[in-house]
Amino acid sequence: MFFLADNFFPELRIVLMGGNIVGKSSVVNTILKIKQEKSVTRKCVMSEGEADKRKAILIDTPGWWPYASVKETSESVKQEIMSSVTMCSPGPHAVLLVLQSGVAFTEAQRRSVKEHMELLGRNVWKYCIVVFTRGDWTVTTTIEEHIESEGENLQWLINKCGNRYHVINHMEQDDREQVRELMEKVEMMARGNTDLLTPLEAVMEETDSGWGSKSDQDKLERGSFNLNPPYMHDYITKWLENTEIVTNYRSDLSEGISEDGTKNHDH
C-alpha cells in the first residue's frame, strides 16, 4: 500500500465523476484556468496544470444518464470509469463527485450516483468530495440551506462523503480563492486517509458492489443520514485537532474560523 507523506503535497491527482451535462469539464477548466472545448466525454481525459501553486492532474471520466442504473450504462463507459484510477498512478488523492446546483436531487439520482461511484469500490466514499457547479445561483441562499431544503436524498449523499462539499462558480474563473479552498479540502482529506485509492482495491471491491440491487446494507444506509446540515467548519476543526504535523495552511484555514467557533459559509 502506498502511504502519503506528512508534508505539503507538490502534486494532487484527482478523478472527476458525475452524470452527463453536470459540468465536469467546466470544473477542470476552472481549477486549471484553461479553456478546453466542452463536449460529452466518452473516454477518460487527462488534463495537467497548476492549481494553488502545485501540479494538478485531473482525470475527467465519462458521465452516465442521471436516472440510469449501472446495469443500463454501457460496458465501455463502465470500463473507462474504472480505468481512471490507473491513469494517475499510484492512485488518486481524491474523487470529485460533480453535481449541478439548483437541480432537484431525487431518489433515482441518489441510487444512480451510488451505483456508478462504487464502480471504483465501496471504499470510494473515503476519497470523495461533492462539488456543486454553477455556484452563482447561491446569491440568495447558502449551500447549507440548499442541502437542508433538498431533503434526505442529498443529505444522505453528503453524509456518505464525510460531510465534504464545495461550490464552484464557473462565471468567476479568475476567482482563485475558490480553487485554493478546494485544494485545501482535497489535501485535508488525503492526510486523513493516509493511503490512496488503488486499482487493486477497486477491483477487489467491484465484485461486492451490489450493482443495481436494493441490498439490506443500502436500506440501512438510507436510514442513517443526519438531518442536520453538514458544515465544513466541523470537518476543518477536527482535522486541525487530530493532525500531528500541521503545515503553514493552518494559519490560512484559521482565518475562516472565528474565535467563538462559529461557522463561516463555504464559497
Per-residue pLDDT of the chain (267 residues), as tens digits, is: 444 544 568 899 999 999 998 989 999 999 999 887 766 678 999 999 999 888 999 999 999 998 999 999 999 999 999 999 999 989 999 999 999 877 889 999 999 999 999 999 989 999 999 999 876 655 557 888 889 888 999 999 999 999 999 999 876 667 789 999 999 999 999 999 988 887 655 555 544 444 444 444 455 455 444 444 444 445 445 444 544 433 443 444 444 444 444 445 444
**Environment class of 121 (CB within 10 Å of its CB; exposed 0-12, middle 13-18, buried 19+):** buried
**Span 11-229: which CATH code?**
3.40.50.300
The residue assigned the cell 472527476 is 16
Show the cell assigned to 235: 470537518
The candidate with the shortest Cα–Cα distance to 12, out of 69, 44, 47, 56, is: 56
Domain chopping of the chain, boundaries: 11-229
Non-local (6+) Cβ contacts of 267 within 8 A are 135, 167, 169, 177, 178, 181
